Amino acid sequence: MDATVTRSRCIVFFLVPNFSMIAFATAIEPLRLANRQLGQQFYTWRLITENGTPGLASNGVKVEVDGSLEDEKRRMHSDERPDMFFVCSGVFVEKYDSKSLNSWLRQLNRSGVTVGAMCTGAWILARAGLLDGKRCAIHWENLPGFAEAFPEAEIYADLFEVDKNIYTCAGGTASLDMMLNLIDADHGETVVNRVCEQALTDRVRGPHDRQRLPLRARLGIHNSKVLTIIELMEANIAEPLSLVELARYAGLSRRQIERLFRRTMGRSPARYYLELRLDRARHLLLQSNLPVVEVAVACGFVSASHFSKCYREFYGRSPLMERREREAVA
């Protein structure tokens, strides 16, 4: 930590259509609060969209911006050159593909400007080729599709990741934690603690804190054996474990597992496992452009026809219908 930093930081936020308001707001607010504690405008920022029109958040709120991507390119060779450039996106990020933005991100990276992403923004950095061999974070809901689309990236279900001059965070309130990490590096723990008090947050989460609630809280169950089995199921979607293998790992008999699941989860372990795989498949259908047959394989189905049959029985529509509905909404 360097508490003697005197040079201010200029940060640009690029707002992608349908960006996450919570990820954006919790990134800017700690910077404002830090300036207030420091008694100076150490952090400055400006907002841009590709064409300079107001940014539209996924909650329907429009945000006025300071310019377009072309305006930003002209600033690069002036005293307004940014120190950091963050892409803020949200839902339907896989549908947003801007060659102009991708090229600009690569140029910024080559020029030594720190590049970052919030919420699903890692998808855009990866498409620009900036995450090959890099540690990165993305919202847990988008992680399966991202991992399939960009196998060269080292994706983690962390709150945020900093790999040299690449910052990524999972969105939501993780933007707050990532910015507190930045403020800590610039000004130290005392300033961070004051910011936390102003923001009414009782602790600074580390980059490797979990994104999701623990299984125990998420599912509302307390049986440790059932939790162990579900964790094994969630970790083995592409190549499902047999009930015999699950029983061996849990130190139970197959019959005991059947009874436990029916009593605790209201269905058989096989049914619960199938529902987990179908849920993962739905995320891939909605958040990637993988062919249906590849989605089936990624979720442990032996054939596309078997996958489609199970999917239709559970969701009431085929995988192709699911994807068409997504495209209609987007």
Residue 3: the pLDDT is 47
DSSP annotation of 78 reads S
pLDDT in tens, 288-324: 888 999 999 999 999 999 999 999 999 999 999 988 8
Nearest to 150 by CA among 290, 16, 286: 290
- Rounded to whole angstroms, the Cα distance separating 25 from 199 reads 12
Q: What angle do CA 161, 162, 166 make, to 5 degrees?
A: 115
pLDDT band at 10 (very low <50, low <70, confident <90, very high): very high
Which percentage of the chain shows pLDDT scores above 70?
97
Question: Strands, DSSP E only, in the chain?
Answer: 9-15, 43-49, 55-56, 62-63, 67-68, 84-88, 114-118, 135-137, 154-156, 160-163, 166-169
Instruction: List, for residues 119-145, the tens digit of each pLDDT value.
Output: 999 999 999 999 999 999 999 888 888
Q: What are the Cα distances from residue 237, in Å, to 48, 76, 232, 297? A: 40, 46, 9, 10
Tell me the per-residue pLDDT of 248-281, one tens digit each, with 9 for 90 and over: 999 999 999 999 999 999 999 999 999 999 999 9
244 contacts 254 by C-beta, under 8 angstroms: yes
- Each residue's pLDDT tens digit, 75-127: 988 888 999 999 999 988 988 999 999 999 999 999 999 999 999 999 999 99
Say if residue 148's pLDDT is above 70. Answer: yes
